[in-house]
Amino acid sequence: MNNPPTQTDAARRTRALESLLVEKGLLTTEIIDGVVQQYEQDVGPLNGAKVVARAWSDPAYKRRLLADGGAAIAELGFGDAHGSKIVVLENTPSVHHLVVCTLCSCYPWSVLGLPPSWYKSYAYRARVVREPRAVLREFDLELPAAVEIRVWDSNSDLRYMVLPERPANTADHSEEQLVALVTRDSMIGVAKIAAPAK
Chain residues in the site for Fe ion (CB under 5 A)? 101, 103-106
Assess whether 117 carries a catalytic annotation.
no
Q: Quick check: 161 and 48 in contact, CB under 8 A?
A: yes
Phi, psi of 97 (to 5 degrees): -95, 145
User: Catalytic: which of 19, 104, 121, 174?
Assistant: 104
Q: Quick check: 69 and 86 in contact, CB under 8 A?
A: yes
Q: Which helix (H) or strand (E) holds 21?
A: helix 7-23
- Of 57 and 105, the one with the shorter C-beta distance to Fe ion is 105
Assess whether 110 carries a catalytic annotation.
no
User: Catalytic: which of 106, 110, 154, 186?
Assistant: 106
Position 66, amino acid: L
- Of 101 and 111, the one with the shorter C-beta distance to Fe ion is 101
- Of 103 and 126, the one with the shorter C-beta distance to Fe ion is 103
Largest CA distance in the chain: 60
Assess whether 105 carries a catalytic annotation.
yes
Assess whether 154 carries a catalytic annotation.
no
Q: How far is the CB of 153 from Fe ion (least distance, A)?
A: 9
Burial class (CB in 10 A: 0-12, 13-18, 19+), 27: middle
User: Catalytic: which of 101, 110, 154, 186?
Assistant: 101
Q: How far is the CB of 31 from Fe ion (least distance, A)?
A: 24
Q: How far is the CB of 61 from Fe ion (least distance, A)?
A: 28
Q: Which residue numbers are catalytic? A: 101, 104-106
